[in-house]
Structure 1
Amino acid sequence: MIRVGMIVNSDFRRDGRVQKESFALAAAGYAVTVFALNTCRPEDEQWAGVRVVNPLSGSLAWFPYKPGYLAVYRQLLSALRREKCDVWHAHDLDVLPFAFVAAKLQGSRLVYDAHEYWQDYDWPGYGGRVSFVRRLLWAAWRRLERRLAGRCDLIITVSEGITRLMAQEFRMPVPLLVRNCVDPVSPAYAGPRLRRVLNLSADVPLVVYTGRLLKGRGLGNLVRALAGLLEMHLALVGEGPMASVLAELAEDMGAAGRVHFVPPVSPLTVPGLISDASLGAALIEDVSLSKRYSLPTKLFEYVAAGLPLLVTGLPEMAALVRRHGMGLVLDDTGPERIKTALEGLLAEPGRLAQLKAGSIRAGRELNWRNEVSLLTHAYAEMAGKPA
């Protein structure tokens, strides 16, 4: 049996992409171990045939400017050396060097799964001041990515735009595109739904946002827009550093009773939870090339739930939404423009129903059942296993 070692600096319980890929490879007959370096212990557990471990006693930091961070680096490398794998699969740039070392020492294949376009990512700082040393370290990470990309046996990423950017930047063939698609809600789904959780009746307009509550997601303007729509409610399903800021803003705008903070749930249950909302919002701001060409998981969660979408006019998202006729695209995402768009949909229930039908149709194509075959076929070719 071919052994696959995945490495990701996130919480496996909250990382839908890593869950879907690891479960798919396990179902295809691979022995998969995921080193999930931000997952709370127990250190070793089984998830649907996938072994999930976290061998670290501390955090894996991008910038090792404390002695403790270097100790964690050594701890991780020691754990990877002990785990013999035929393929090492790095989820994102921060773990790629460790996967490269493990693959080199063991003569294994190396897969790089870039969830972002790291050569122009909106971090560190969102335009804020960052120390000179920190900027130098970030430049070193980008240079390291360019060097290691040519050593990979397979590179995967999340949108067509990012495949083109990476091919041009690294002077290499176009990477494999595996989007963050999600399977539609099963008719047998019997779990919680938002309206029951929030005690809202079916006639109350309900906008939903899923994912981390971070800057650059248009959430402040969404709350401001809601303040002028007295019938509408907003559910923010997730957590993050913007939560307290958004709660305070909602209070200031007189909308605190209509902005609901819902704790995150298992990624694969998100579509079922949100399936009785009126609309899904993905107002990603154009703060970097990584965001400009993104196709975020939340977009596919809304499609899986059969929801109409309200999205920013960024090229990848806008093209997908327009092609399937499943939502509105906003080139201006100021609060007044968002408010006008939402008011228009409230005034035209027939239009909202039309967009919902477009989303349901899109779900027949944009689902993980279709997308996963790209991953398993590429693995079979790389590993010399019959497809």
Structure 2
Amino acid sequence: MMTVVTVTPMALESDSRTFKQAASVARAGYRSIVVEGRTSRLQRDALPFELISPDGDPEDAGAEEPTASSQSGGLRAFLKRAPESLKWPWRVVRYVAMYAIDFGFVTVRRTPPASLYYLHAFYQFPAVYCLSRRYGVPYIYDAHDFYSRLEEPDQIPWTRRHLILPFERWLERKCVKHAAAVVTVADGIADLLRETFGCESVVIRNCHDSRLDQEHPSVVRETIGIQPDDFLVVVIGRAKKGRAILELLQAVADLPDKVHVAFLGSGYQDKFADDVQRLGLAGRAHFVPPVKPFEVVPFVRGADAAAILYYARSVNYAYSLPNGFFQSVAAELPVLYPDLIEIKKVAERFDIGLGIDPRNSQSLRVGIETLRNDTGRYEQLRRNLSKAHIALDWENEEKKLHELLVNILAEKA
């Protein structure tokens, strides 16, 4: 049996794209192994593939892709006050150590031989490239984002702008050059990769795989303890830059007390608890810890609507087509969606929600009021969603993945 080894820098429980892809590999009849960069709390014997984790206890599964910025509290406080001349050498040292140890030596040591490697994000490219050369096998590169423009130059420190980002762009160019195929999440990202690296990409969208769904012990309405006639808007995914969280809180504060919002994911409590108190939203704005990726859709299905709060913070965000959007569709929740190219294209094609400006609390308030009060429009959206979630299921995207695997492994043979 041929073996496909998937490598991700993240904890698998916070990387639903990698989870779906690895399950699809196993479903195609290959031995599927995932090497995760951070330790998940997943029950291994219940997974449809093998999972290799770092040594030690599970880490914060809600964290973003690894960076060189984490440090102890005392050191963080010192660096916050220190001049740039003291900050940048430390950042460079941390970054070099991360690449050499975490993304290099540790990844090589933990990753088994394979017939094909499947690399998510370019960070571990040096290790995967070495393994592919050692065993004489190809690798696929899956770009979840347009990493070169995750942030704009004026949004990042001097060290990252002038030292780290040029290195990462060079590294990703090498990764693309040597890959047997490049995969990405949306047509817009594929266009950006073509313009930057001269490559053609296979677009496999982040559609939800309903075959993997498992019920959570509770559902979101029960977890937060609201009444059946309360109107609940959910936001799926961790708190991070590029999402208009505060504006949604302000919108909910201007709506009747029967309107609630639940944020499913990590990071909200630390960043927005003070805003909830200031806006008088205690008991109406709820921060819900993350659930497993295959529990998200059953968990939120009892809500009334979903808000997609991304805005065009950078070129990458302008073309985003996130998991949370497809999970909202799979749960058949009418969506409040931003004017971002890829999201708007899908939402308008199936007529599954209302367009809003996520950075304008008035726009968000009007959108929620319309969904809550216009019964005819709301029911039409729900009917559209009952059809859209079938058309936007991962099973359709999986066919492209299976075809890609067959073609690359046939070329290897």
Given the two structures, how large is their TM-score scaled by the length of structure 2? 0.85
Contact kept? 1:304, 1:363, Cα under 8 Å: yes
Q: How many residues are aligned here?
A: 380
Quick check: 1:335 aligned with 2:361? Answer: yes
Is the 1:90–1:111 Cα contact (8 Å) retained in structure 2?
A: yes
Shift of 1:12: 1.1
Judged with a 3 Å threshold, the aligned counterparts in structure 2 of structure 1 residues 17 and 40 are, in CA distance, closer, same or farther, namely: closer
Aligned residue in 2 for 1:264: 290
1:313 maps to 2:339? yes
CA contact (8 A) 2:262 2:285 kept: yes
* Contact 2:104–2:126 (Cα < 8 Å) also in 1: no
The whole-number CA distance in structure 1 between the counterparts of 2:353 and 2:107 is 46
Q: 2:308 aligns with which of 255, 277, 282?
A: 282
Distance 2:145 2:55 in 1: 24
Identify which of 134, 142, 148 aligns with 2:169: 142
Structure 1: segments with no counterpart, 5+ residues:
none
Q: Distance in 2 between matches of 1:98 and 1:249?
A: 43
Q: Distance in 1 between matches of 2:136 and 2:358?
A: 51
> Which sits farther off after the overlay, 48-57 or 317-326?
48-57
Of 92, 102, 108 in structure 1, the residue corresponding to residue 131 of structure 2 is 102
Change over 3 Å in CA distance of 1:189–1:83 after alignment to 2:
closer
Give the aligned partner of residue 180 of structure 1. Answer: 206
1:358 aligned partner: 384
CA 372–255 in structure 1, closer or farther in 2 if over 3 Å, else same:
same
Q: Structure 1 residue 352: deviation in Å? A: 1.3
Query: Does the CA contact (< 8 Å) of 1:116 and 1:157 recur in 2?
Result: yes
What secondary structure is seen at the aligned counterpart in 1 of 2:391?
Answer: coil
Partner residue, 2:75: none
CA distance in 2, matches of 1:41, 1:320: 33
Q: State the percentage of identical aligned residues.
A: 26
- C-alpha RMSD over aligned residues: 2.7
Secondary structure of the residue aligned to 1:93 is coil
Match of 1:88 in 2: 117
Does the 8 A contact of 2:259 with 2:284 survive in 1? Answer: yes
- Would you say 1:54 and 2:53 are equivalent positions? yes
Give 3-state SS (helix, strand or coil) of 2:329's partner. Answer: helix
What is the identity, as a one-letter code, of the residue corresponding to 2:261? L
Q: Matched residue of 1:89: which SS?
A: strand
The amino acid across from 1:65 in the alignment is: V
Deviation at residue 286 of structure 1 after TM alignment = 0.4
Q: CA–CA distance in 2 between the matches of 1:354 and 1:216?
A: 30
What code does the residue aligned with 2:39 have?
T
| Cα distance in 2, alignment partners of residues 271 and 94 from structure 1 | 29
Whether 2:348 is the aligned partner of 1:322: answer yes
Report the more deviating stretch, 13-22 or 274-283: 13-22
Unaligned runs of 5+ in 2: 60-65, 69-90
Q: Deviations over 1:210-248 (max 9, x none)?
A: 1111121111100111000122100001112x4323221
C-alpha offsets along residues 179-217 of structure 1, whole Å, 9 cap, x if unaligned?
111135999958522112222222111000011111211
TM-score by length of 1: 0.90
Q: Secondary structure at the match of 1:119?
A: helix
Give the structure with the larger helix fraction: 2
The aligned residue for residue 76 of structure 1 is 106
8 A contact 2:337–2:353 mirrored in 1: yes
